[in-house]
Structure 1
């Protein structure tokens, strides 16, 4: 099946290469400004995967929709959240969700200082150390010089909670740490998971929420994941550079790589400009876009190489135009087929699935464009540059 007859098509793609070169440069500058200048679009909105947060797995005694779960989570102040149905869900009439929110601890650093002051007023010099780290979750590390019972600590924190109006202190779990002669205690506060459990019970009667698992993704882990995602894209681009240079020659490789950088940069810029979350799913989408784009570029490059051997008498501009016209039907059909599947995800998907579809849809359009007006055009410019060096 062909949308365009290569024998009848005669579009002068390369005649407009200067206009589209300027257009591409302007788009890349806009993307860079959106990414690095926070006053323009607020910068990159890092997702929980990269910024850190709490992952809670909850089982409900009744079937709930993702929208119902998201509404309750958002009502607790967690605007940045990810709701995902668990693959472990088996029993009919029940539902299980994995909920990710951006906060690790409910207790803030300022609140912790207030609690420390109240505890020192209560226990005096007996309290030797008070430890709290928001990145470690809702817990306190306490060390005393003399013996203090678990009940005394729990009672003191409950009184402080009522005084400071901190619900997370009214019901705590106190665990002794270290050797018996050491008076060290780990205090587990009512954290994010318990807060969500209470909210579901209150707002959705009969939901009977049960916390199955709680995990924390600290900022350091998030930063490592973010760096690994960036490295994955760089390795993919470098690998493609080596492949194109080996498969064709150095004249073609820079155009393919710059086209990939162009596609990835514009996709990241779109998310920065619109405030959409950048997470591991987004990295997967960008890597897929890179693979799609280079596939389209390789097809065009392969046709250019074939035509260079057949019609050596013609200038390279005409050879590239002929090759683009010959592959246009394949390019359009491939892009439309991919877009049809993505449109379904855009309409029916939600959350990370919808964000993935947005990145892929934009990437397919940009990748098709760059294969023609970035990769192919750069091949001409590099050819002229190499000829000047040889002259």
Structure 2
């Protein structure tokens, strides 16, 4: 086994941490400048999805919507489906009228799906989403702290923050819609990411029990060895879920495409952060510990 020919994750960790820091700073700037493109779940409004029985030109649908005079809207069409997003929350009279007029003027066999969110509900859903993400992160901190030690917990949380923020920054830069399915995707990403991180941390802890740590370079070797020992499992897990997410993105309906895209970005980012962020941060914190104490700790474990 020629370990010297293998890629040295620890040796290159400073470069990858610097890249990650640059990405994070750019992401913060992007979110600060552009903000997030909130969907109606968080900003109020009306989502109307129309499935037609025949091909209807986009220009005709736009002309029809302009005649309705329901305020600002966006329209996306594909095949026999039209997705309209009104900034205003329609009332019952407006809802019935637009459906009746569309059936009368464009397609009498069209099917409609309408989702209306008023401002108060949007604010409540924003609060609930933030609370949900905060509780999830707190639970992970407590779990990792109890199962491992505080250094592992800090490294895991910083890795998760980077992972979630990377996805949020991409959605901000490309003005992709942030809605409840997006929050669900972020929470799912956090779960997969912490799983990858815990697998590596568990192997590091296991190797510490039998390692003879005489210098900080021994810790480098131990972490690098632990990553290589768990790399195949991590890659196989990510690829398996990634295939499903890509298939959903390509073949799924419009309503789950952004969810699938967030999952794809998060899975790739999660695998990266577990290896190049979480592990090096733990190593950095461990090296700050006096060497004699670290030796005793490893022997006790």
Name the TM-score, length of structure 2 as normaliser. Answer: 0.82
- 1:31 paired residue number: 27
Pairing 1:250–2:123 present: no
- 2:37 paired residue number: 45
1:9 shift after superposition: 6.9
Segments of 5+ residues of structure 2 without an aligned counterpart are 67-72, 295-301
Q: Do 2:75 and 2:83's aligned partners in 1 also have CA atoms closer than 8 Å?
A: no
Can you list the C-alpha shifts for 1:165-200, whole angstroms capped at 9, x where unaligned? xxxxxxxxxxxxxxxxxxxxxxx8x52441243124
Map residues 87-236 of structure 1 onto 2, 5 A cutoff: 101-104=85-88, 137-138=90-91, 191-204=94-107, 206-207=108-109, 216-236=116-136
- 2:299 paired residue number: none
CA RMSD in angstroms, aligned pairs only:
3.3
Aligned counterpart for 2:138 among listed residues 234, 238, 244: 238
1:68 shift after superposition: 6.0
Number of residue-to-residue matches in the alignment: 282
Name the CA shift for 1:9/1:286 in 2 (closer, same or farther; >3 Å).
farther
1:251 shift after superposition: 1.5
Please state whether the residue corresponding to 2:150 is helix, strand or coil: coil
Name the CA shift for 1:349/1:326 in 2 (closer, same or farther; >3 Å).
same
Q: Distance in 2 between matches of 1:280 and 1:261?
A: 19
Name the CA shift for 1:302/1:214 in 2 (closer, same or farther; >3 Å).
closer
Can you list the C-alpha shifts for 1:16-72, whole angstroms capped at 9, x where unaligned? 11111110011111111111113xxxx2110011111135698x8xx738x869987
Q: Do 1:82 and 1:99's aligned partners in 2 also have CA atoms closer than 8 Å?
A: yes
Name the TM-score, length of structure 1 as normaliser. Answer: 0.64
Name the CA shift for 1:237/1:313 in 2 (closer, same or farther; >3 Å).
same
Pairing 1:54–2:46 present: yes
Q: Which has the higher helix share?
A: 2
Please state whether the residue corresponding to 1:251 is helix, strand or coil: helix
Please state whether the residue corresponding to 2:181 is helix, strand or coil: helix
Q: Which has the larger radius of gyration?
A: 1
- 1:331 paired residue number: 234
Aligned counterpart for 2:269 among listed residues 361, 366, 378: 366
Q: Do 2:133 and 2:187's aligned partners in 1 also have CA atoms closer than 8 Å?
A: yes
Segments of 5+ residues of structure 1 without an aligned counterpart are 84-94, 106-136, 139-187
Aligned counterpart for 2:171 among listed residues 271, 277, 291: 271
Can you list the C-alpha shifts for 1:280-308, whole angstroms capped at 9, x where unaligned? 00000000000000000000000000111
1:243 shift after superposition: 0.3
Q: Distance in 2 between matches of 1:72 and 1:363?
A: 38
